[in-house]
Structure formats: C-alpha cells, structure tokens
C-alpha cells in the first residue's frame, strides 16, 4: 500500500465517526445522553455518510480516469454528457409527476444516463477515436442541458418547478438506506470497470499510437470508460442530483503525491473524493442558514470555482 | 522476418512489398508525404494490412503478443503526465505479465543501456531534448522487443546525441534485434543502415543495400535533386549543387 492511500484511509477512519456525531443535534459519546440518538445515527446520519462516501469515491475515481483517458487535467466526469442526461431523466420524472412514485426518480435518472451511453456508442462508432468521442459527449451534454431548461420553462406548476430547481442543486439531505442501495451496486461495478481500464490509461500517457503499440485496445478501453463512468455518474445523479467539481478537483489534489500514472491515481482519488464529500456534507449540515441547509452541490461549486481559477492561472503561467 | 506483401492503404501506400530482417538496421526514406510513417505503422501492426511476422499475419496475434514482440517509438514523443524517467521507462513493461523483479531488472537495464541511471528520478518535464529522446527510447527497450520501429528518432537531436542513438541501434542489431528507422538524412541512411527502403508517392522506388538503393540517380528521380556522394565509403556525405 502506498503512502497516500494509507494517509487517506487513516483520515477516513477519523472523519467517519466525527461526521456521525456532527449535526444540528450534536451526539457526544462523553456528553449527556441525547434523546433518539440511535435512530438519528442509524436512520439519518449513517446512510447519509455512506452515501457521501460512495458518491465521493465514484466521482473521484471517475475524474481521475477521465483525465487519464483524455490526457487532459481539465477533464471531468461530466464531459461524456452522461450526468446531464441523467439529470434530464430526473427532471422529466418531476415534470411528468412520476416522481411521487417510489423509485421513479432514480429509475428515470438511470435511464437518462443509459440513453447517453448508448448515444455515445452509436455516434462514436467502432473507431475508438478519442476526439470524436469527446465531441459527441459535449453535444449530448449541451442537448440535455437545453432540454432540461425547456422542461423547467414549461413546467406544469410552481411545485414541480421548485422541486426541479431544488433537486438540480444536488444534496444528500434526507437521503436514507433506500438511496444507498440504489447507488452502491452500480458505483462498485463502475469502480471495478475503471480499475480494469488502469493499464490501458497508463499506456495512453504516451499518445494513442504508442498506447496501441503497447497493446491498448481503443474500443475495449472506450467501453470500459463509458460503462464505468456511466454507472458511477448515473447512480450518483439518480440519488443526489448534480454534484460538480469533485471529479475535477480531487485528481489534482492527489496527483502530486503519486508517480503520476493514471492507474496510480484511481484509488487515492476514490478515497480523497469520499473524504471531500463527507467533510463538505458535514459542513453543509453545520452551517447555520435561514430556511434549511446549504445545498451540497452549491457548496462544492463555491469551493471548486476558486480552485479551478488557480489551475487556469497556473496553466497560463506555464504557457508563458 | 517482418514482411509486408502487396500492402495497399488507399491514398497512402500502393502495392508495397518490403521486409525487415532480424539483426539488421533498415532505413525507410523518401520525400515528405511518401508514406514512410504509414509503412512503419503498418509494420508495427497499428494499421491493418498484409504484414506477417515470421509467416504469421500480425492480425492473428493478440494485441498483447504483438506488443511484446514489436516496440514502436512514435515521432511526436508525447508524455501526457509529468512522470519520472524511471516510471516512463517502466511503461514499456505494460504488455508483459511478469513479476515485479523482472520488470525492475528490465527497466534498470534499459536505463543503464542509455546512460540514464542518474536521471531515473528526474521528471520528464525537466529533461533536455536529447535526454528526453533517450528516456522515450528507454521505454521501448524496457519492453525487450525483438523488433524496434522508430519514426524519425534522430529529428531535433544534436550531433552527439544522434551518434549516441545510432550506436545504440547498431548495438541492439548486433544482439539480433530487427531495427527500422524512418530517416530524413540520406547520409545517415547510407552510412548507418544495412538496408534502405526508398518510398515515393506511396510506392517502393528502390530497395536494397544503401549503395544500391541510394544512388545519385535514385535521388534525382525521387527527390528531384541533383546531388553527389563524396567522401570515403564508411562516411559518405551528400553534396548538393548550388544551382
């Protein structure tokens, strides 16, 4: 086990119990007993923490894989257009009113993500070329964004509108074990697929031709990437809405502590993503805000934007 | 033998039959756009076509088998992430499912062969052009391929580094490795290759030992340049007329 992995694991071991104790009601093992402590812990905070870990790990790892695949430090899991399509699916469930049915919302979102994956496969064809593929993803993303805006502007009533807008901001508030069981299996499967893509991503460091000469199969890698990122992002959006910046920021934070190979980045990025989302969600819970808590998606974007700016300034300096 | 037979790639190569021999350095030369890089990529199995390795079509090998046998050094020399020289060289072990100790040994041998041991922990971004070219070649050597195909490996290198790399290729050929180099400098091809393939407009214009394939007549016909070979047989120079 390498050092960054050990340090991140230790940090998680510390952070997880702390996150369970923190909230509007503080539960201290040493303080006076709190009424309903067990239900608060088991039914509210534990599933929420598990969900933060699952989604954070998935986003961190898929960000690292995407940056490796596109050989670009500015890539993030949203680039394939899968997240916006999953969000569109969720929005349609609000729009049509199906969202009141149990499981309809995540199913709509997963279906949206799946449609994006099929579209990507159809447009990119059998070539396995990366540039065409990325452009296809961007086209799908912009189409999904436009259709989401259309659904918002045509929303049948103010309640649907408010539900859509709130949901799109991304949050883990009021999520329970149901959501954990929806998100966990696809995310785990996605992580396994991305791990299998590791050696091919390492080979891609040398460019497409050299990578193929090292045995990288473009079509196989593309399938692993779309399925891996798609399952993770689709599952995440289905239970928590759009949570940006984790996939972009986390690989950057971790990269200096690894040898730089994309495969060496996958596990540390998963752990760091889990840690970041757990801490960010705790902060959302603790910040006193009139009318409820800060939305996780907003909080992460607020953290992420300055970080992104710093990255751009650094790149500008390097380009002279 | 790594042999192409009646290889045609629409728009780029027409009916090209040519072979690389083990233990020999083969230079592929020709004007810009003649199809040199395409032929090299076909020999590497990166473009599908009728190319056979010791009689077995390349397409019949698994990507991994092919990668273990044929090392390919592209012209662009891209390294997307700022890896250390050692990590870069170790990427050459990717096709091999061998033990960590074997990978360590092969990587160390490759770094040592190119005199890169003291650069092992330096990051690629801090290297000079010549050091970087050696590090990229170390990646190929670490894979211990039986064939090495390099696309303009000497471009952008100073004279000393060109000589060092040419000696390295000669040494590898002496150990039985088959080498193919795309070259622009005809004097290098003449002095350092065992065989030369001259391409023109996607066809083989001449092929054979350097003194037969790279005659003044061939140069005039293919490049449209009147030039004269001068100097001793082992160090020929190509003189261009002023007019």
Could you state, in order of their start, the residue ranges of all structural domains in chain A?
Answer: 52-319
> Touching check for A179 and chain B: CB below 8 Å?
no
Whether residue B103 has pLDDT greater than 90: yes
> A206, B72: Cβ pair inside 8 Å?
no
Cα–Cα distance, A208 to A131 (Å, whole number): 11
Q: What is the pLDDT of residues A73-120, one digit of tens each?
A: 888 888 888 889 999 999 998 888 887 787 888 889 989 988 998 888
CA of A247 to nearest chain B CA: how many angstroms apart?
18
What's the ipTM?
0.92
- In A, minimum Cα distance to B147 occurs at A213
| pLDDT score of A118 | 87
C-alpha pair distances (Å), A122 with each of A62, A232, B5: 22, 21, 35
> A209, B41: Cβ pair inside 8 Å?
yes
Q: What is the pLDDT of residues A280-297, one digit of tens each?
A: 998 888 887 766 778 888
Q: What is the pLDDT of residues A231-277, one digit of tens each?
A: 999 999 989 988 888 998 899 889 989 999 999 999 999 999 999 99
**CATH fold of the domain at A52-319:** ABC transporter involved in vitamin B12 uptake, BtuC (1.10.3470)
pLDDT above 70 covers what percent of chain B? Answer: 100
Cα–Cα distance, B47 to B63 (Å, whole number): 12
- In B, minimum Cα distance to A264 occurs at B87
Which residues of chain A have a CB within 8 Å of the CB of B139?
206
Q: What is the 3-state secondary structure (H, E, C) of chain B?
A: CEEEEEEEECCCEEEEEEEECCCCEEEEECCCCCCHHHHHHHHCCCCCCCEEECCEEHHHCCHHHHHHHEEEECCCCCCCCCCEHHHHHHHHHCCCCCCHHHHHHHHHHHHHHCCCHHHCCCEHHHCCHHHHHHHHHHHHHHCCCCEEEEECCCCCCCHHHHHHHHHHHHHHHHCCCEEEEECCCHHHHHHHCCEEEEEECCEEEEEECHHHHCCHHHHHHHHCCCEEEECCHHHCEEEECCC
Query: Which of A303-312, B19-28, B91-100 comes out lowest in average pLDDT?
Result: A303-312
Q: What is the pLDDT of residues B155-209, one digit of tens each?
A: 878 898 899 899 999 999 999 999 999 999 999 999 999 999 999 999 999 999 9
CB A264 within 8 A of CB A258: yes
Indicate the CATH number of B2-77+144-240 among 3.40.190.10, 1.10.600.10, 3.40.50.880, 3.40.50.300. 3.40.50.300
| pLDDT score of B45 | 94
| pLDDT score of A32 | 78
User: Which residues is B16 bridged to in the sheet?
Assistant: B7
CB A230 within 8 A of CB A117: yes
Q: How confident is the model at residue B210 (pLDDT cuts 50, 70, 90)?
A: very high
Q: What is the pLDDT of residues A42-60, one digit of tens each?
A: 888 899 999 999 999 999 9
Q: How confident is the model at residue B15 (pLDDT cuts 50, 70, 90)?
A: very high
Which residues of chain A have a CB within 8 Å of the CB of B70?
213
| pLDDT score of A127 | 66
> A205, B83: Cβ pair inside 8 Å?
yes
Q: How many beta-carbon contacts under 8 Å exist across A and B?
A: 72
């Amino acid at each position: 086990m390498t050092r960054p992995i050990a340090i991140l694991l230790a940090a998680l071991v510390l952070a997880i119990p702390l996150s369970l104790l923190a909230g509007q009601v503080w539960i201290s093992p040493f303080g006076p007993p709190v009424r309903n402590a067990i239900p608060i812990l088991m039914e509210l905070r534990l599933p929420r923490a598990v969900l933060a870990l699952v989604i954070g790990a998935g986003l961190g790892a898929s960000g690292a894989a995407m940056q490796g695949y596109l050989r670009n430090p500015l890539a993030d899991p949203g680039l394939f257009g899968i997240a916006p399509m999953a969000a569109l699916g969720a929005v349609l469930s609000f729009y049509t009113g199906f969202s009141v049915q149990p499981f309809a919302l995540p199913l709509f979102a997963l279906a949206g993500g799946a449609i994006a994956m099929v579209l990507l496969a159809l447009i990119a064809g059998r070539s396995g070329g990366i540039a065409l593929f990325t452009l296809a993803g961007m086209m799908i993303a912009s189409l999904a964004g436009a259709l989401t805006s259309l659904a918002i502007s045509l929303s049948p009533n103010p309640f649907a509108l408010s539900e859509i807008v709130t949901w799109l901001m991304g949050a883990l508030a009021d999520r329970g074990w149901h959501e954990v069981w929806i998100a966990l299996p696809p995310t785990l499967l996605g992580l396994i697929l991305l791990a299998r893509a590791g050696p091919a991503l390492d080979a891609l460091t040398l460019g497409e031709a050299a990578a193929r000469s090292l045995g990288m199969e473009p079509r196989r890698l593309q399938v692993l990437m779309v399925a891996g990122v798609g399952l993770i992002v689709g599952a995440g959006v289905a239970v928590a809405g759009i949570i940006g910046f984790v996939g972009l920021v986390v690989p950057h934070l971790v990269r200096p502590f690894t040898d730089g190979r994309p495969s060496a980045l996958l596990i540390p990025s998963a752990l760091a993503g889990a840690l970041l989302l757990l801490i960010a969600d705790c902060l959302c819970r603790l910040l006193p805000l009139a009318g409820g808590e800060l939305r996780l998606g907003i909080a992460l974007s607020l953290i992420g934007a300055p970080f992104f700016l710093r990255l751009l300034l650094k790149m500008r300096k390097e380009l002279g | 033998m790594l042999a192409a037979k009646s290889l045609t790639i629409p728009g780029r190569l027409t009916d090209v039959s040519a072979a690389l021999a083990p233990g020999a350095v083969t230079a592929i030369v020709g004007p810009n756009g003649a199809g040199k890089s395409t032929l090299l990529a076909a020999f590497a199995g990166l473009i599908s076509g009728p190319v056979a390795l010791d009689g077995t079509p390349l397409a019949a090998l698994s990507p991994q088998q092919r990668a273990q046998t044929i090392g390919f050094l592209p012209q662009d020399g891209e390294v997307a992430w700022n890896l250390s020289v050692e990590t870069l060289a170790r990427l050459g072990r990717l096709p091999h499912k061998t033990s960590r100790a074997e990978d360590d040994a092969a990587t160390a041998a490759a770094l040592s062969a190119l005199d890169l041991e003291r650069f092992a922990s330096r990051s690629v971004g801090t290297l000079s052009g010549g050091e970087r070219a050696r590090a990229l070649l170390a990646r190929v050597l670490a894979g211990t391929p039986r064939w090495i195909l390099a696309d303009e490996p000497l471009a952008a290198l100073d004279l000393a580094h060109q000589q060092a790399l040419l000696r390295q290729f000669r040494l590898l050929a002496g150990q039985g490795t088959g080498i193919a180099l795309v070259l622009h400098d005809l004097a290098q091809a003449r002095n350092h290759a065992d065989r030369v393939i001259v391409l023109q407009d996607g066809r083989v214009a001449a092929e054979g030992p350097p003194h037969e394939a790279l005659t003044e007549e061939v140069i005039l016909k293919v490049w449209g340049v009147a030039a004269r070979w001068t100097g001793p047989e082992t160090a020929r120079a190509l003189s261009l007329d002023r007019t």
